[in-house]
């Protein structure tokens, strides 16, 4: 008798397995990343405890982590919409910048008088952010639907284009006394923060968490509802799972491509608006440490489930917060890459069962 | 602005894109889409630069860079060929992984001065008027190798028996398998070849064309442009080379436009306000999109072009392809 490895196709995937592979991938990635870190002369365990302190150590730092998680949640949800259709929008970074530009226009041109009520200014900034992000998603969507142009490349090229576009305005038209940033926004354009209420509630003093996190939660609920109950969500899922069946069912695929890309872009644009209105308070060159790319991994790790995107975003926000402190700087990139790789490799476990079986040697 | 300089510089930077793009053509012709070119190039650039510094030999650096790109691509091969994972997601992860590895391992390389790959002149050919100095003078050996590599790879893909197998594996893997072609093995091989060439392209940047290690700015998106070139070139090495050279010249032209006071007798707006150069910096990316639109329309019209099994995992014994 001998023990043999047998691989067979799964008929049904147990419910606990997909989340287990996500968690397993993160753990495995941390171990592997730690080994690489050790190899280049770091102290992985010390870094890990440092990571914990820098991310969850106190209410103050945890609030910082949540602030970083906010754009990730919104962008993760934005990516989930497109990815569900197997549309590879990797231009969330550019759509984020486009949204930031649109929102800045409201204050810097200014489009409306800045003595308008706060909710009007903020509301208009949200709309402009979503319109500009939406345009930046519409372009690749339209090109894909009309000319079958690969959306991966177009979304990526549009990232570079918008960053140069923003730079022109930051360095030239809107430059603050020649500095490479615009003037600080009028306070009417700032999203409310918990710290604003420190007079009434002492515990809030210095807490930077802003209203944007609510945008993220609402976006997750809306997209969850779309996936679960709406006709559009059903069409998106069908196109993603089986485009041929969708075509025969009479679903207009071109229209859905354009819609999904525009919607995805608009949400990413909202993330850009939330970031400059809630955190930076001006338009400047570096408003994102790669949120648009990290959002892709967040969406994937959450298996495109809008609610799972929230805790995953907090974890990755932790990586970004800690990444600012830990040297070398590429470590958080490396960890993200390994996590994603582990995750897609582990998908094989969802399709196949690996069993150890006893085999009669004489028969073999 | 000097046309000869633009041509000369375009050939050098275009050669980088040429190697990366033809590498990707090999992988895609075998049916595996690898979007990790940017990551493999960056890792190659770092490995080449770092090794040259450590061993005092640029050629050893180049060899290690080729190997680094190839080894990284095998991760993509394993995940997409054996685990049948989605090739798009795997390629994206490869970019993250390669970028992260390069940044972590390349810590402290900025500002170092390792030996570089030297430039050479080709006797006789260099004295051809105009073209000679641009094409055959003061280029690295890899640029000259590129001239030979383009026709050779075209010939290999289209006219030889192994090339036939390569195309068969990417078009009809089941049919190829049924006549005894090793589908899995060949796909691994060409993914590896693509990775090696991307690593080479990366080292060409850091050791020859634009020497130095500037973290992720070293490649600054050229890997993605190489992938766009493959679509524009419709998987043909000659068109990929042409596109690469044109792209390289464009990059140089953009730099040169910023210098002079007068352009064609008119006042140069860039001379008055250098911030207008941000619009110039957009043009390569805008042109990539435009080139893609034309390329995609041509492919749609011909109904041919992309290898028909591109992006689809081959599962032995399953019906299909």
CB contact under 8 Å between B85 and A347, yes or no, is yes
Task: Give the per-residue pLDDT at A226.
Answer: 95
Crossing angle, helix A212-229 and helix A253-275, to 10 degrees?
Answer: 160
Cα dihedral: A214, A220, A223, A229 (round 10): -110
A202 in a domain, yes or no? yes
SS3 B254: helix
A319 in a domain, yes or no? no
- More confident: A31 or A306: A306
Smallest Cα distance from B296 to chain A, Å: 6
Of A109, A108, A66, residue with least CA distance to A278: A66
A77 in a domain, yes or no? yes
Smallest Cα distance from A99 to chain B, Å: 18
Q: Which residues of B touch A34 (CB under 8 A)?
A: none
pLDDT at residue A364 above 50?
Answer: no
Phi, psi (degrees; rounded to nearest 5) at A357: -125, 150
Are B101 and A328 in contact by the 8 Å Cβ rule? The answer is: no
Structural domain containing residue A246: 71-303
CB contact under 8 Å between A88 and B90, yes or no, is no
Task: Give the per-residue pLDDT at A1.
Answer: 57
CA distance A342 to A331: 16
**pLDDT band at A218, cuts 50/70/90?**
very high
CA distance B197 to B23: 5
For residues A261-285, average pLDDT? 95
For residues A15-19, average pLDDT? 82
**pLDDT band at A325, cuts 50/70/90?**
low
Q: Which residues of A touch B86 (CB under 8 A)?
A: 344
Q: Which residues of A touch B104 (CB under 8 A)?
A: 36-37, 40, 328, 330-331, 334
pLDDT at residue B229 above 70?
Answer: yes
CA distance A268 to B45: 32
What is the ipTM for the molecules in this complex? 0.86
CB contact under 8 Å between B104 and A36, yes or no, is yes
Task: Give the per-residue pLDDT at B321.
Answer: 44
Of A323, A282, A328, residue with least CA distance to A65: A323
Q: Best mutation site among B37, B282, B302, B303 for testing chain A: the one with the most A CBs within 10 Å?
A: B282
* Residue-wise burial string across B240-272, b where 16 or more C-beta atoms lie within 10 A, e elsewhere: bbbbbbebbbbbbbbeebeeeeeeeeeeeebee
Length of chain A: 364
A216 in a domain, yes or no? yes
Q: pLDDT tens for residues A343-352?
A: 888 877 777 7
Chain A residue with minimal CA distance to B93? A337
Chain B residue with minimal CA distance to A88? B88
CB contact under 8 Å between A153 and B224, yes or no, is yes
pLDDT at residue A236 above 70?
Answer: yes
For residues A20-36, average pLDDT? 83
Instruction: Give A284's DSSP letter.
Output: B
Q: pLDDT tens for residues A135-170?
A: 999 999 999 999 989 898 899 899 999 999 999 999
Q: Best mutation site among A341, A343, A350 for testing chain B: the one with the most B CBs within 10 Å?
A: A341
A289 in a domain, yes or no? yes
**Domains (range + CATH), chain B:** 3-302 (1.10.3470)
CB contact under 8 Å between B288 and A337, yes or no, is no
Chain A residue with minimal CA distance to B228? A153
Chain B residue with minimal CA distance to A83? B89
Are B125 and B136 in contact by the 8 Å Cβ rule? The answer is: yes
**pLDDT band at A326, cuts 50/70/90?**
low
Smallest Cα distance from B119 to chain A, Å: 32
Q: Best mutation site among A344, A348, A354 for testing chain B: the one with the most B CBs within 10 Å?
A: A344
Q: Which residues of B touch A337 (CB under 8 A)?
A: 39, 93-101
A20 in a domain, yes or no? no
For residues B175-197, average pLDDT? 93
pLDDT at residue A76 above 90?
Answer: yes
For residues A97-124, average pLDDT? 93
A198 in a domain, yes or no? yes
CB contact under 8 Å between A167 and B278, yes or no, is yes
Partner residue opposite A296 with nearest CB, options B86, B92, B282: B92
CB contact under 8 Å between B96 and A293, yes or no, is yes
Partner residue opposite A168 with nearest CB, options B92, B275, B292: B275
Chain A residue with minimal CA distance to B87? A344
CB contact under 8 Å between A337 and B292, yes or no, is no
Length of chain B: 321
Q: Best mutation site among A155, A161, A331 for testing chain B: the one with the most B CBs within 10 Å?
A: A161
Q: Which residues of A touch B35 (CB under 8 A)?
A: 152
Task: Give the per-residue pLDDT at B189.
Answer: 96
Partner residue opposite B97 with nearest CB, options A150, A332, A334: A334
SS3 A316: helix
A285 in a domain, yes or no? yes
Q: What total number of domains does chain A contain? A: 1
CB contact under 8 Å between B224 and A328, yes or no, is no
Q: Best mutation site among A82, A85, A146, A330 for testing chain B: the one with the most B CBs within 10 Å?
A: A330
pLDDT at residue A91 above 80?
Answer: yes
């Amino acid at each position: 008798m001998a023990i043999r490895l047998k691989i067979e196709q799964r008929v049904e995937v147990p419910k606990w397995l997909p989340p287990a592979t996500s968690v397993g991938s993160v753990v495995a990635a941390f171990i592997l990343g730690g080994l690489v870190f050790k190899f280049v002369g770091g102290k992985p365990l010390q870094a890990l405890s440092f990571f914990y302190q820098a991310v969850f150590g106190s209410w103050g730092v945890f609030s910082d982590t949540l602030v970083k998680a906010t754009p990730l949640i919104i962008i993760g949800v934005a990516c989930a919409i497109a990815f569900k259709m197997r549309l590879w929008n990797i231009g969330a970074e550019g759509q984020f910048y486009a949204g930031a530009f649109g929102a800045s226009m409201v204050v810097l041109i200014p489009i409306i008088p800045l003595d308008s009520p706060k909710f009007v200014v903020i509301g208009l900034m949200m709309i402009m952010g979503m319109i500009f992000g939406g345009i930046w998603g519409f372009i690749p969507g339209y090109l894909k639907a009309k000319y079958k142009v690969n959306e991966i490349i177009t979304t990526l090229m549009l990232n570079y284009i918008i960053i140069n576009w923003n730079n022109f305005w930051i360095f030239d038209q809107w430059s603050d006394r020649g500095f490479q940033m615009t003037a600080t926004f009028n306070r009417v354009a700032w999203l409310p923060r918990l710290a604003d209420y420190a007079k009434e509630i002492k515990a809030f003093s210095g807490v930077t968490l802003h209203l944007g996190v609510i945008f993220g939660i609402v976006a997750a609920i809306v997209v969850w509802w779309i996936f679960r109950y709406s006709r559009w969500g059903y069409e998106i899922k069908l196109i993603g799972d089986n485009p041929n069946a969708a075509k025969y069912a009479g679903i207009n695929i071109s229209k859905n491509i354009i819609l999904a890309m525009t919607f995805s872009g608009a949400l990413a644009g909202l993330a850009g608006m939330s970031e400059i209105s809630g955190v930076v308070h001006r338009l400047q060159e570096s408003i994102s440490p790669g949120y648009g790319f990290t959002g892709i991994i967040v969406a994937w790790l959450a298996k495109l489930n809008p609610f799972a995107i929230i805790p995953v975003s907090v974890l990755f926000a932790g990586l970004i917060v800690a990444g600012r402190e830990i040297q070398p700087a590429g470590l958080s990139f490396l960890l993200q890459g390994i996590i994603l790789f582990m995750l897609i490799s582990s998908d094989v476990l969802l399709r196949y069962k690996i069993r150890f079986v006893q085999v009669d040697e004489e028969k073999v | 602005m000097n046309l000869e300089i633009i041509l000369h510089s375009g050939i050098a930077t275009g050669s980088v894109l040429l190697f990366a793009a033809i590498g990707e053509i090999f992988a895609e012709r075998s049916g595996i889409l690898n979007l990790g070119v940017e990551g493999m190039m960056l890792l190659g650039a770092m490995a080449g630069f770092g090794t040259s510094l450590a061993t005092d030999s640029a050629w050893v650096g180049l060899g290690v860079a080729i190997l680094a790109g190839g080894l990284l691509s095998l991760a993509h091969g394993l995940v997409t060929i054996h685990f049948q994972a989605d090739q798009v997601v795997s390629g994206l992860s490869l970019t993250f992984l390669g970028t992260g590895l390069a940044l972590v391992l390349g810590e402290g390389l900025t500002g170092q001065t390792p030996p570089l790959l030297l430039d050479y002149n080709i006797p006789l050919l260099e004295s051809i008027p105009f073209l000679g100095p641009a094409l055959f003078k003061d280029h690295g050996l890899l640029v000259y190798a590129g001239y030979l590599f383009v026709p050779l790879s075209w010939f290999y893909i289209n006219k030889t028996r192994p090339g036939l197998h390569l195309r068969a594996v990417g078009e009809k893997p089941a049919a190829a398998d049924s006549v005894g072609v090793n589908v899995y093995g060949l796909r691994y091989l060409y993914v590896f070849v693509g990775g090696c060439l991307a690593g080479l392209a990366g080292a060409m940047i850091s050791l020859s064309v634009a020497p130095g290690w500037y973290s992720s700015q070293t490649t600054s998106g050229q890997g993605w442009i190489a992938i766009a070139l493959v679509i524009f070139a419709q998987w043909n090495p000659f068109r990929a080379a042409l596109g690469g050279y044109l792209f390289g010249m464009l990059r140089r032209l953009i730099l040169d436009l910023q210098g002079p006071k007068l352009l064609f007798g008119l006042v140069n707006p860039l001379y008055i306000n250098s911030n207008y150069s941000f619009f110039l910096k957009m043009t390569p990316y805008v042109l990539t999109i435009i080139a893609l639109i034309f390329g995609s329309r041509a492919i749609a019209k011909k109904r041919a072009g992309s290898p028909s099994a591109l992006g689809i995992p081959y599962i032995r014994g399953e019906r299909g392809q």
